[in-house]
Amino acid sequence: MKKAFIIIGILIYSLTSFSQEYIPLLEDEKSWSVLSVGYISGDPYYDTTYSTISYKLMGDTVLNSVVYKKLYKSDEEYPINWSLEAYMREDNEVHKVWMKMESDEQEYLLYDFDAQLGNTLTIGYGMPVSLLIDSITLVEIDGVMRQKHWLSSIDMPHYKETWINGIGSNKGMLYSGSVMIVGGWYWLLCMNEDGSVVYENPDYESCYLTTGAEHISNHSLGFSIYPNPTQDYISINTPSSFESNSVEIDIYCMSGKIVDHFQINTKASNSAYVYPLNNNKSGIYICQIKAENYNSTVKFVISR
């Protein structure tokens, strides 16, 4: 009998836990900080740029008798100048969110927060893709229990995405369904409401990150790190002509805290040293390379 009560309790919990009060996504003065990572051709294969784009909802407009909220963007660390980026609307009864770009008349579905386990959705701007709801869980954020949808691409098994009720996609406000952005990708850093941070990505230590266009390698001495971005390891390359046999390596996170320190013998490693990243979270890191009469730093990204 006791087992029966336990099973009934679990069933009641599972039914009530997924009937949480819906939290609207589109509300004035909400803003999102999104990391934009781009690739440009370079040596060894590409260089990488990192910038932060802020998105903010400000005001309404009517288009073809439909009310939309206006979404603005800014690339400033402390945004003052905003430009109109898109129009968005939300149906709080069916819990869906649509968007249309300022330069495009077509409307696209970005979110369906009522989607159930096993549902397949056509999601995304420009070239919508098929996403499968793999699971639905609960997460507590800012003292509120919220539903979290876990999605994957039917055509690209490596692609994963999550939605959080009232916050949006981990890919960034506008980039749900962005299975592949040619030349880069996007990642949500923070979501703010009324000037306060409600959600902060645990894999990053700031709501604003930027490096500009920085070369991955030092061409004068031939140092390079690849792949970049990476998941499991970085290969630190040194030229065979480098005079020093011993090189010191320091790995820092973006807050300036040292993550690891080690030495490599450039001759013994055949001009390349593979450093595993098993214990490092996703984010931007700095690799400092020190040798006799040489001190250089290189940024790299772990993206999992």
Q: What is the pLDDT of residues 192-213, one digit of tens each?
A: 998 889 999 987 878 988 765 4
Domain closes at, from 165, 200, 235: 200
Domain presence at residue 10: no
Do 278 and 161 belong together in one domain?
Answer: no
Q: What pLDDT was estimated at residue 128?
A: 85
Q: Are residues 83 and 155 in the same domain?
A: yes
| Closest listed residue to residue 204, CA positions, set 20, 80, 58, 52 | 52
What was the pLDDT predicted at 270?
54
Give the end of a domain, one of 146, 165, 200: 200
Do residues 184 and 110 both lie within one domain?
Answer: yes
Query: Whose structure tokens read 């902060």?
Result: 200
Residue ranges in the chain whose pLDDT is less than 70: 1-20, 39-48, 179-184, 211-223, 239-244, 254-256, 266-271, 293, 304
Task: Check residue 135 and give its pLDDT.
Answer: 96
Decide if 129 contacts 136 (C-beta within 8 A): no
Q: How many of the other CB atoms lie within 10 Å of CB of 201?
A: 18
Residues recorded for the chain: 304
User: Are 225 and 254 in a shared domain?
Assistant: yes
> Does some domain include residue 184?
yes
95 domain residue, yes or no? yes
- CATH assignment at residue 267: 2.60.40.3080
Kindly state whether residues 38 and 176 are assigned to the same domain: yes
d(C-alpha 269, C-alpha 210), whole Å: 33
Q: Check if the beta carbon of residue 88 is closer than 8 Å to that of residue 27.
A: no
Backbone angle region of 29, left / alpha / beta, with phi > 0 → left and psi within -120 to 50 → alpha: left
Q: Are residues 187 and 219 in the same domain?
A: no
Tell me: do 127 and 66 sit in the same domain.
yes
Q: Of 137, 168, 200, which residue constitutes the final position of a domain?
A: 200
Residue 274 falls within a domain, yes or no? yes
Please report where in the chains the tokens 């770009």 appear, as a residue: 101
Query: Do the beta carbons of residue 153 and residue 131 sit within 8 Å?
Result: yes
The pLDDT assigned to 40 comes to 52
- The answer to whether residues 264 and 176 belong to one domain is no
- In the chain, the number of structural domains is 2
- What pLDDT sits at residue 168? 96
Residues 45-85: tens digit of each pLDDT: 444 678 899 999 999 999 989 999 999 999 988 888 999 99
Tokens of 236: 């630190």
The DSSP code sequence of 42-66 is -SSSEEEEEEEEEEEEEEEEEETTE
pLDDT score at 2:
38
Query: What is the separation of C-alpha 285 from the centre of its chain, rounded to a whole number of angstroms?
Result: 15
- Does 4 fall in a domain? no
List Cβ neighbours of 110 (8 Å cut-off, separation of 6 or more): 88, 97, 98, 99, 123, 124, 125, 169, 174, 176, 177
Quick one: 34 and 153 in the same domain? yes
Residues 159 and 247 placed together within one structural domain of the fold: no
Do 195 and 47 fall into the same domain?
Answer: yes
pLDDT at residue 182 in the model:
47
Are 174 and 234 in a shared domain?
no
Diameter over CA atoms, the chain: 78
Q: What would the pLDDT profile of 159-175 be if each residue is shown by its tens digit?
A: 889 999 999 999 998 99
Q: Which domain holds residue 245?
A: 215-302
Upstream peptide bond of 229 is cis (omega within 30 degrees of 0): yes
Whether residue 41 is contained in a domain is answered as yes
Residue 284 lies in a domain: yes
Residue 149 identity = H
Identify the pLDDT of residue 45: 41
pLDDT of residue 13: 38
Examine residue 230 and state whether it is found in any structural domain, yes or no: yes
Strand partners, 236: 225, 273
